[in-house]
Structure 1
Amino acid sequence: EISGQIAQIQTSTGQAVASIGGMTGRIRQISDVATSIAAAVEEQGAASELSRQSEHLAAEVDRFLATVRAA
C-alpha cells in the first residue's frame, strides 16, 4: 500500500512539474509581449515628440516668412 501511495505521489509530482514548466513558458511569452509593447509605446512617444517639434518648426517658418514679406 505504501509503495502505491509513493507511486501516486511521484505521478502527481511529475504532473505538477510539467504544469509548472508550461506556466514558465507562458510567463516568458507574456514577458516578451510586454517588452514589445513597451518598445512600441516608447517609439510612439518619440514619434509624438517629432510631430510636436515639426509643428513648432512650421510655426517658426510661417512667422519668419511673414516678417520677410512685411519687409
Structure 2
Amino acid sequence: MATQIVMDRTGDSKHFFDRTDLVGLAKAERRFGKLTGQGFTAATRTPSGDLNLVRTFDPTADETLFYPRLVGG
C-alpha cells in the first residue's frame, strides 16, 4: 500500500492506494498533478529516510510527501 501525505495549514492528511489497482493509481496520479499544479512541492523518501524532490508522479514510490511552498515576508 502506497501513501501520499499532504501537509497544509490544517495539519496533514494521508491518502492510501494500491499500486495494482488501476483506478486507485489513476486517482493518485490526478492528486499528484492537482497538488503540484497548486504549488505544492512533492518529495519521496529514499531508503535511508531522506527526501528526494520529484517533479513527476512515481507509481513505485512507497511514500510521497506534499508540502506547500514557504511564503516569506
TM-score by length of structure 1 reads 0.28
Larger Rg: 1
Q: More helix by proportion, 1 or 2?
A: 1
Q: More strand by proportion, 1 or 2?
A: 2
The structure whose RCO (Cα within 8 Å, separation 6+) is larger is: 2
TM-score by length of structure 2 reads 0.27
